[in-house]
Amino acid sequence: MIKKCAPGLILGRFLMKEIQNKQNIALLLGLFFTLALFVGSFLVVSGVQADIKYTSSNLLKTINSTRSQYGLSKLQLNPQLQQVAQDRAEVITKEQRFSHTTIDNRTLQDFLIAADYNYQRGGENLGLDFILSEDLMTAWLQSPGHKSNILTPEYTDTGIVVQDIEYHGQTTTLVVHIFGQSATKKQPSLQSLTDSSIFHYSLDLIKKLTLADIIATILQSV
């Protein structure tokens, strides 16, 4: 059945339909631009996070750049010291103990010998919970022990591990940096074996740690 409508009514319905279509288009455009803004913001944030997250390679570049400023030769990655750094990171993670000694009293010397690295001297820098490599380097250079390791002229070899770990219920970044000077003779010399560590906790991590954990950490650094 065909219903007869007045011309004015037909024109009114047409205009209402056009207005509704324009409103739908405006709504779709609004949703499109909102989605584009969200995706763009996500990419920017992801890019910032990628810039913030440092690796062992760019940390080594920063360290070698610092050594160059003092007229020192660049450190070269050594497979044996790289294995030592990895082993140390695994032990720290497993034992949940941020220290230069293990629960069974093994030290850097024991790890160097186990890796069959014939050393004249060795050193170890540790870092925990640093987001920016610049902050880590600043802290190391403000610490006499760490700065000594970084700027020791005799060191030629190195191994570095930067890895995310679970530490006392928190996800954080652990840095293990091993320094070495190989010996010319077969039997390793036990002289001048040095190490030092940095303790750097965010406020959130401090809140999660018990008072006993903090005291134990301080005592381990003495």
Per-residue pLDDT of the chain (222 residues; tens, 9 = 90+): 333 444 444 444 544 555 455 556 555 555 555 544 444 433 333 333 334 568 999 999 999 999 999 999 999 999 999 999 999 999 999 999 999 999 999 999 999 999 999 999 999 999 999 988 889 999 999 999 999 999 999 999 999 999 999 999 999 999 999 999 998 644 444 444 455 555 433 333 222 344 555 555 556 555
Tokens for 48? 């910032």
Determine the pLDDT at residue 131: 86
Residue 198 CB burial class (10 angstroms; 0-12, 13-18, ≥19):
buried
Determine the pLDDT at residue 211: 54
How many Å apart are CA 60 and CA 96, to the nearest integer? Answer: 25
Determine the pLDDT at residue 156: 96
- Distance in angstroms between the alpha carbons of the first and the last residue of the chain: 97
Contact between 111 and 166 (Cβ < 8 Å): no
Helix axes 133-142, 56-69, angle to 10 degrees: 40
Cα angle at 128 between 88 and 103, to 5 degrees? 40
With H, G, I as helix, E, B as strand and everything else as coil, classify residue 100: coil
How many Å apart are CA 131 and CA 124, to the nearest integer? Answer: 20
Determine the pLDDT at residue 1: 31
DSSP state of 144: H
Determine the pLDDT at residue 17: 55
Determine the pLDDT at residue 4: 43
Determine the pLDDT at residue 10: 46
DSSP state of 205: H
Determine the pLDDT at residue 147: 95
How many Å apart are CA 187 and CA 190, to the nearest integer? Answer: 9
